[in-house]
Amino acid sequence: MEAASIPESPAASPRRPVGSILADNILWVLMALALLVYFVQDPEQTLDDVKTGLSNGTIWALIALGYTLVYGIIELINFAHGEVFMIGSFVTVSIWQTLGVTPDNSIVAILGSMLVGLVLAMLASGTLNVMIERVAYKPLRNAPKLAPLITAIGMSFILQNVGLLWRPQPDSSPDLIGSQKDYFTVFGVAIEHSDVFAVVVTAPLLIALLWFVGSTRYGKAMRATAQDPDAARLMGINVDRTISLTFLLGGLLAGAAGMIYALYNGTIQFNQGFTAGLIAFTAAVMGGIGNLKGAVVGGLIIGVIQSISDTHFGQVWTPAVVFAILILIMVFKPQGLFGEETREG
Amino acid sequence: MSTAVASARSNVTNLQRLVPNWAWMLIALAVALLYPYILDQLLAEPDDLLDASIQTLAYIIMALGLNIVVGFAGLLDLGYVAFFAIGAFVMGWLGSQQFPDVAGGKGIHILTPSQSAFGSDVPGIHVNFFLVIFIAALFTALWGVILGAPTLRLRGDYLAIVTLAFGEIVPRIFENATSGIFGIGSIDFSNGRQGITPIDKINLPWTDEKFKYPLELKPVYFVGLAMVVLVIFFNRRLRDSRMGRAWIAVREDEVAAAAMGVNLVRTKLWAYALGAALGGFAGVFLATYNNTVNVDQFEFGFSVLILSMVIIGGMGNIWGVILGAVALSMFNRYGLKQLNGVPDQFGLDFDVTSINYGIFGFFLLVMMVLRPEGFIPSGRRKLELHGEVDETDHLGAESDHTLYDVREDR
């Protein structure tokens, strides 16, 4: 991504007369341009980066949804969300280790254990997220907004250290899907098992979530609470339960992301949640926080930015690149890609 | 029970009234000066505790620095570690053999011995510690302004996340700046993950004799104490100054403060600059005391540790923050080690010291839920946090908490 674009983007400052859509969206335009330049230079490598980025981005998208759901409803950055994702990974791998499943087992056993791992990780993360809300955020609903952010940080550290005690060393997940093997090749880009797997697991979850929020009674209650909690309560919506439900949904998705991450990357460790959390938060802000589709798109874009940065700047600089983008977006484009008017804005 | 607490409290207040404020400070200073000698008398092995105390002095300075940003000006900064890192690296650059080729290998020496004990030249830049602390303070203040400037338009949690990102980027840049920065130049600034070591020991400007820590800790303790006293004086004067009142006004209500003629940009940038300067000040001290400048020290947890000190002690209250810093830092450096055997007794196999950040996280959580104003709250903040208990239960709080309100103001 476009180290070149970083110094230039202050030009996007709204102090300038915002005449054209182009000037307003200079950050995105520059990113797209950089991608185009890289593509012209080395099409095959760039396509491969985009593929890796998109499949990796599905994981960030799932986590980002948790941030965006919670922020949309109580305007809180659930700082512990990355750790919820980490616990999801740990639960999955622990289950597989207990079951003793290996890649040599029959396909039915592997699929079955993957399903069990997925469901249990989702349940564990979902329950954990609801409990976090009860313990750390609910008592502070009426406190200044700084207070729950600080308890969130506290919670994040507690969970990270729980992870540290659980697995002091990085641990490897059984390679159930043969993640590095090529599945098929398009335009000279090898699609690996892990890529297919990430998309196949993520897509139904995303659709289910969008359906749930968009078309069910509970989803309607969530949207109403997000719009105006007081009015929602007057309309007979149980606001507390709706908030718990939101945390449950976010946790479920984080658990699924944890399971995918374990198989996709092959190794898990206690501090994976911190970085993943920040990356996913960047994705959520990029898509416009509170916007579900935006979070998904943001996750995919961040994934691509990461893999392109890996190739062109080296892996050591990638975290700095992602954080720099986070700063640029928050300072110059806080409403994100799909800029909606914010509630109090 | 509450009556017992209340009567104890009134006793304390009576005692406070009995003796004037400056006398309390003198007593505290006398105790601090005698402290190493008291330890000598009480303990057979005082060095462990004195070592922890010296680290604590540096943490006090940093907590007071962060208190300017968070406590006075109300800007939640989650990336304070960046200034510790910058200060420490200034010491690394100006007080080690990191740049062996300067001045044709002879090295640059300012008020430091130019020859080693064996009479040979010492390469690298070597500036006296007492100069470096002020150079580093200026340099980090500059960086405080540079990193603070983009965040001026943000409030609340967006501000917190942006500062956090800065706190993550700065150490990454140091870590990777082993061959120029961003591919420009080829100077090794940091030795990568190994870090810069050894760092020059402190020597007084008028003598070539270096301090002999870690063998002899008392002199370095007194240097640290002098720095703390200077910083406390500085902080108290600042708090009562025109600038200090402007900070509090901005913290309480930005719009009202601006309407009253407070220059928001200048006020906030000064808070960042001075807070950062103290981080650099302490960073230099820790660098030379620990004899290394290593990127592994500069993690997010450190920012949170300092923030915990400020919050647990009582945001905005100088004495509260000092109490928080002493309590947490001594607990971190000394208390936890004593607890290392405890999990064993329950048949668990881990060191308590390894989960120190988890324990601090727990403190933060409990403190925020039970006593958000800290142990020794500043009067104003106490009112803020407990003034609106009677308000009807409403969520989302589009209320009068403008201080913390989330939205970027545009």
A75-129: pLDDT as tens digits: 888 989 999 999 999 999 999 999 888 888 888 888 999 999 999 999 999 999 9
Cis link prior to B214 (omega < 30° from 0)?
A: yes
Which tokens hold the place of B243?
A: 């600038």
Task: Enter the DSSP assignment of A144.
Answer: -
First to last CA, chain B: 50
**Residues B305, B364 contacting (CB under 8 angstroms):** no
CB contact B86 to A (< 8 Å): no
3-state DSSP assignment of residue A168: coil
The predicted model gives A288-302 an average pLDDT of: 90
Name every residue whose Cβ is closer than 8 Å to that of residue B99 and which is 6 or more positions away in sequence.
B93, B124, B125, B187
pLDDT for B349 beyond 90: no
pLDDT for A287 beyond 50: yes
3-state DSSP assignment of residue A191: strand
Question: B residues 320-379 near A, CB within 8 Å?
Answer: 350, 354-355, 357-365, 368-369, 372
Position B67: which residue type? N
**What percent of chain B clears pLDDT 90, i.e. is strictly above it?**
40
The model's pLDDT over B32-60, given as tens digits with 9 standing for 90+, comes to 999 999 988 888 888 889 999 999 999 99
pLDDT for A23 beyond 80: no
Sign, CA torsion B397/B399/B405/B408: positive
**pLDDT value for A10:** 47
What's the CA angle centered on A40, arms A35 and A41, to 5 degrees?
A: 95
CA B361, CA A153: separation in Å to the nearest integer?
Answer: 7
The strand pairing partners of B115, in sequence order, are B121
pLDDT for A235 beyond 70: yes
**Residues B307, B78 contacting (CB under 8 angstroms):** yes
Is the predicted ipTM greater than 0.90, yes or no? no
Out of A145, A164, A317, whose CB is closest to B401? A145
CA of A259 vs chain B CAs: smallest distance (Å): 24
At B109, give phi and psi (nearest 5°): -130, 125
CA A42, chain centre distance (Å): 29
A97-105's contacts with Cβ under 8 Å and 24+ in sequence apart are A97/A174, A101/A174, A101/A176, A102/A174, A103/A174, A103/A175, A103/A176, A103/A178
- Which of A193-197, A206-210, B323-327 bottoms out in mean pLDDT, i.e. has the lowest? A193-197
CB contact B291 to A (< 8 Å): no
CA of A151 vs chain B CAs: smallest distance (Å): 5
**pLDDT value for B385:** 63
CA of B361 vs chain A CAs: smallest distance (Å): 4
CB contact A140 to B (< 8 Å): yes
CA A150, CA B367: separation in Å to the nearest integer?
Answer: 10
Residues on chain A touching B392 (C-beta within 8 angstroms): none
